């Protein structure tokens, strides 16, 4: 049942039919079979359509397979294969569905975490049926908000276009352009109501930035960044991307989302930093979902533009979302822009208030759900997204080990690795404003590109330097999480916040564009993640490109090798004093 259609028709003033909310399609995820059975029965009694799932990964798979197949997801917080919060983020990012969390643990901190990650509600077990009866309100509310967004903005920021059929890769969540076109038309005529019945009509769903699209996006950003020094605006990016159905607003809102996301990450990073700063070894390797094993071979994930930070982690990657505009393009089946938008991108980046942003990060971190790729959750404290909060200076290196990435404290950026999250998510909280984004690319190509462009794993210096100036405008953070390998590269964007994340499920890569941080993470198989950051990164969106040039600071480079060594051998903290470095939790891309 498509919920949005009726809403649109009726101006979401009333349910589509009397049966609503009957038939609401619920996906329940819980590793406890007893609870699964009980919940299933309860939901059925509410006349909902229930699908149960015992594993988070499987749930994601189901969700991805049937993109429009569910209206709401209920998930337990503690699951063996993946942290419930990560799942939450993924779902939020990719599918933009309301997610309810459940747990027997009602501790405030847990609940808060749930909310931060974008949960619509947090239910305590034992759950009563009456609590389940009302879950439809979350679905309804969401639709209303979406429509309100559409109505209130000229841009498409709030407009979600859902396109049936994906013209991108099968695992891409990209919606094809036809709906966008029609949405655009709609917008022109200020006609908010489309023919709901037609599946191709825009249902005001979000544009999902699939991996491919994101790649294009990053590429465009990179291109602009390389060619000129001016700031990259959404229009320019759009032009370069040459995706007919995409609108400038889409790009802009994409960026916005990432901004929020990054800012949220930053906030988290800050919190985490307070727990011990960056510790590579803190990665809870136990966390299956997120532990990045150092062993995983790192395929050079690199953002095209090593302008930002690159992180390589065997299995961790940082996804930096610096994206004021949109960066997600390349998340392969991962990022759903809508979620990103909500959460991460907002004008006020540094403030990671949006729960969505956290969702985003989580999402990204899930890049490799199926593999042990762990993201180093780097709480990106970057205030890329916002000038005021911008912590300038991006720390040179961020090492990720087992999900930890430490950013050298050369800059103001805060990068923190979130041990809690590291396990499975790399949050890239970097939001770069005003920078061009290097198009993130799929891991393989990216990697090559990355190498080609600037960063070669082993000789990051040169390339890093090279890339920086060029990239002054845009940062790209790419996080690639491979199942076996994950490397994250984050580019920094000086101004627009572009975050492109690409997740290649197979290869688990993610690209995040982080404009502000020019960390370069050399590819090193043994290295989990390295963030190399220029001296002065102004993660601030508002910062001019000039700041980028700091990246080329040789001193910056010099640190690199040392850093690498250190990270390789131990999980010790980054030689730099990185606590302030926000670690971007890639969580944006799912592989």
Among 3, 12, 35, 258, binds another protein (CB under 8 A): 35
Which residue stretch of 25-33, 260-268, 322-330, 549-557 sits at the interface with another protein (rule: CB under 8 A)? 25-33
Residue of 126, 244, 388, 554 interacting with another protein (CB under 8 A): 126
For β-strands 478-481 and 25-29, DSSP reports them as unpaired
| Size, binding site for another protein by CB under 8 A | 19
* Identity of the residue, 103 or 346, whose beta carbon is nearer to another protein in the bound complex: 103
Binding mask 66-95 for another protein (x = CB under 8 A): ----------x-x-----------------
String of DSSP letters for 324-376? SBB-GGGBSS---HHHHHHHT-SS-TT-TT-HHHHHHHHHHHTB-SSS---B-
Contact yes or no for 28/167 (Cβ under 8 A): no
**283 C-beta neighbours (distance < 10 Å), count:** 37
Close Cβ partners of 65 (under 8 Å, ≥ 6 residues apart): none
- Contacts of residue 8, Cβ cutoff 8 Å, sequence gap at least 6: 147, 192, 193, 194, 196, 203, 204
Which residues from 437-466 bind another protein, rule CB under 8 A?
none
Contact predicate 591/507, CB 8 Å = yes
Min CB(39)–another protein separation in Å: 9
Task: Rule CB under 8 A: choose which of 17, 45, 141, 151 binds another protein.
Answer: 45
Among 7, 42, 196, 568, binds another protein (CB under 8 A): 42
Binding mask 94-123 for another protein (x = CB under 8 A): ---------xxx------------------
- Token reading at 164: 């049936």
Shortest Å distance, C-beta 54 to another protein: 11
Q: Which residues contact 188 (CB under 8 A, 6 or more apart)?
A: none
The answer to whether 418 and 583 are in contact (CB under 8 A) is yes
The residue among 42 and 97 lying less far from another protein, judged by its C-beta, is 42
Q: Check binding of 281 to another protein (CB under 8 A).
A: no
**Would you give the end-to-end CA distance of the chain in angstroms?**
28
Least separation in angstroms between residue 190's CB and another protein is 49
Binding of another protein by 200 (CB under 8 A): no
Task: For residue 398, give the nearest of 282, 489, 468 by alpha carbon.
Answer: 489
| Member of 11, 66, 128, 227 binding another protein (CB under 8 A) | 128
Q: How far is the CB of 560 from another protein (least distance, A)?
A: 35
Least distance in angstroms from the C-beta of 37 to another protein? 6
Task: Identify the H or E element spanning 321.
Answer: none
> Quick one: 37 or 141, whose CB is closer to another protein?
37
Between 76 and 96, name the residue whose CB sits nearer to another protein.
Answer: 76
The single residue among 10, 11, 19, 37 that binds another protein, judged by CB under 8 A, is 37
Position among 1, 6, 32, 115 found at the interface with another protein (CB under 8 A): 32
Structure tokens at 411: 């800059």
Q: Other C-beta atoms within 10 Å of 198: how many? A: 13
The correct pick among 1, 38, 176, 562 for binding another protein (CB under 8 A) is 38
Residue-wise DSSP of 455-512 = --SS-HHHHHHHHHHHHTT----EEEE-SS-EEEEB---SEE------B-TTT----B
Provide, rounded to whole angstroms, the least separation between the CB of residue 114 and another protein: 15
105 or 151, CB closer to another protein?
Answer: 105
Residue number with CB closer to another protein (78 or 228): 78
Residue 41 binds another protein (CB under 8 A): yes
**Closest separation in Å from C-beta 38 to another protein:** 6
How far apart (Å, rounded) are the C-alpha atoms in residues 375 and 378? 8
> CA-CA distance, 509 to 280, in Å (whole number)?
20
CA gap 420, 379 in Å, rounded: 10
Smallest distance from another protein to CB 529, Å? 24
Compute the chain's Rg from CA coordinates.
Answer: 21
Cβ-based nearer residue to another protein, 115 or 124: 124
Report the site for another protein in 201-230 (rule: CB under 8 A): none
Nearest distance from C-beta of residue 388 to another protein, angstroms: 39
Using CB under 8 A, list all residues that contact another protein: 31-35, 37-38, 41-42, 45, 76, 78, 103-105, 125-126, 128-129
């Amino acid at each position: 049942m498509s919920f949005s259609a009726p809403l649109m028709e009726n101006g979401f003033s009333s349910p589509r039919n009397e049966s609503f909310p009957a038939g609401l399609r619920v996906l329940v995820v819980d590793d406890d079979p007893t609870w699964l059975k009980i919940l299933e029965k309860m939901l059925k009694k509410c006349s909902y359509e229930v699908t149960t799932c015992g594993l988070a990964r499987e749930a994601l798979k189901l969700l991805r397979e049937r993109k429009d197949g569910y209206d709401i997801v209920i998930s337990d917080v503690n699951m063996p294969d993946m942290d419930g919060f990560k799942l939450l983020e993924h779902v939020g990012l990719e599918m933009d569905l309301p997610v309810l969390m459940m747990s027997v643990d009602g501790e405030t901190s847990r609940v808060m975490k749930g909310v931060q990650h974008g949960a619509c509600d947090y239910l305590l077990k034992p759950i009563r049926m009456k609590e389940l009866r009302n879950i439809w309100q979350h679905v309804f509310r969401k639709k209303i908000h979406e429509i309100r967004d559409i109505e209130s903005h000229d841009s498409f920021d709030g407009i979600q276009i859902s396109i049936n059929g994906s013209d991108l890769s099968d695992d891409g969540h990209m919606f094809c352009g036809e709906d966008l076109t029609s949405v655009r038309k709609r917008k022109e005529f200020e006609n908010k109501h489309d023919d709901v019945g037609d599946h191709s009509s825009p249902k005001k769903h979000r544009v999902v930035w699939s991996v491919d699209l994101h790649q294009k996006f990053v590429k465009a950003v990179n291109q602009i960044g390389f060619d000129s020094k001016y700031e990259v605006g959404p229009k320019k990016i759009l032009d370069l991307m040459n995706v007919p159905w995409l609108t400038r607003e889409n790009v802009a809102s994409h960026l916005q989302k990432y901004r929020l996301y990054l800012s949220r990450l930053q906030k988290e990073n800050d919190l985490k930093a307070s727990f011990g700063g960056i510790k590579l070894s803190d990665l809870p390797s136990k966390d299956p979902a997120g532990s990045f094993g150092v062993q995983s071979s790192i395929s050079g994930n690199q953002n095209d533009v090593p302008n930002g930070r690159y992180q390589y982690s065997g299995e961790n990657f940082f996804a930096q979302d610096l994206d004021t505009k949109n960066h997600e393009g390349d998340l392969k089946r991962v990022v759903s822009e809508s979620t990103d938008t909500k959460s991460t991108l907002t004008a006020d980046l540094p403030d990671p208030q949006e729960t969505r942003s956290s969702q985003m990060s989580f999402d990204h971190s899930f890049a490799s759900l199926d593999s042990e790729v762990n993201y180093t959750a780097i709480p990106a404290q970057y205030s890329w997204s916002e000038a005021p909060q911008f912590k300038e200076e991006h720390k040179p290196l961020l090492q990720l080990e087992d999900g930890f990435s430490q950013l050298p404290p050369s800059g103001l950026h805060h990068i923190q690795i979130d041990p809690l999250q590291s396990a499975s998510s790399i949050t890239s909280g970097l939001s770069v404003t005003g920078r061009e984004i290097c198009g993130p690319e799929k891991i393989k190509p990216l990697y090559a590109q990355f190498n080609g462009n600037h960063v070669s794993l082993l000789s990051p210096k040169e390339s890093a330097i090279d890339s920086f100036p060029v990239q002054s405008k845009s940062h790209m953070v790419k996080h690639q999480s491979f199942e076996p390998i994950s490397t994250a590269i984050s580019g920094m964007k000086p101004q627009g916040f572009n975050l492109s994340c690409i997740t290649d499920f197979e290869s688990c890569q993610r690209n995040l564009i982080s404009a502000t941080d020019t960390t370069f993470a050399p590819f090193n198989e043994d290295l989990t993640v390295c963030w190399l950051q220029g001296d002065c990164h102004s993660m601030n969106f508002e910062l001019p490109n000039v700041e980028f040039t700091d990246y080329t600071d040789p001193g910056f480079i010099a640190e690199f090798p040392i850093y690498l060594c250190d990270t390789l051998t131990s999980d010790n903290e980054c030689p730099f004093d990185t606590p302030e470095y926000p670690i971007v939790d890639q969580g944006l891309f799912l592989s």
